[in-house]
Amino acid sequence: MKHLVAPSILSADFGNLQRDIEMINNSEADWFHVDIMDGVFVPNISFGFPVMETLTQHAKKPLDVHLMIVHPEHYIERFAEAGAAIITVHYEACTHLHRIIQSIHNAGCKACVALNPHTSVSLLKDILVDLDMVLIMSVNPGFGGQKFIPNTLNKVRALKGIASSNNPNLLIEVDGGVGIHNIQELVTAGADVFVAGNAIFAASSPSEMISSLKNADTEVLKSI
Q: Which residues of the chain form contacts with Zn ion (CB under 5 A)? A: 35, 66, 175
- Known active-site residue 35: yes
Interaction pattern, residues 119-158, with ligand DX5; x per rule: CB under 6 A: --------------------x-xxxxxx------------
Is 175 labeled as catalytic in the residue annotation?
yes
User: Taking CB under 6 A as the criterion, which residues in 166-205 touch ligand DX5?
Assistant: 175-178, 195-199
CB atoms within 10 A of CB 199: 26
Question: Among residues 81, 199, 78, 90, which one has the least CA distance to residue 134?
Answer: 90
Name the catalytic one among 30, 38, 175, 192.
Answer: 175
C-alpha dihedral sign at 53, 10, 190, 96: negative
Binding residues among 26-85 for ligand DX5 as defined by CB under 6 A: 33, 35, 66
CA–CA–CA angle 61, 170, 195 (5° rounding): 45
- The length of the chain is 224
Q: Shortest distance, CB of residue 142 to ligand DX5, whole angstroms?
A: 5
Q: Which of 4, 8, 76, 193 touches ligand DX5 (CB under 6 A)?
A: 8
Residue 106 to residues 67, 102, 110, 135, Cα–Cα distance (Å) = 17, 6, 10, 20
Positions marked active-site: 35, 175
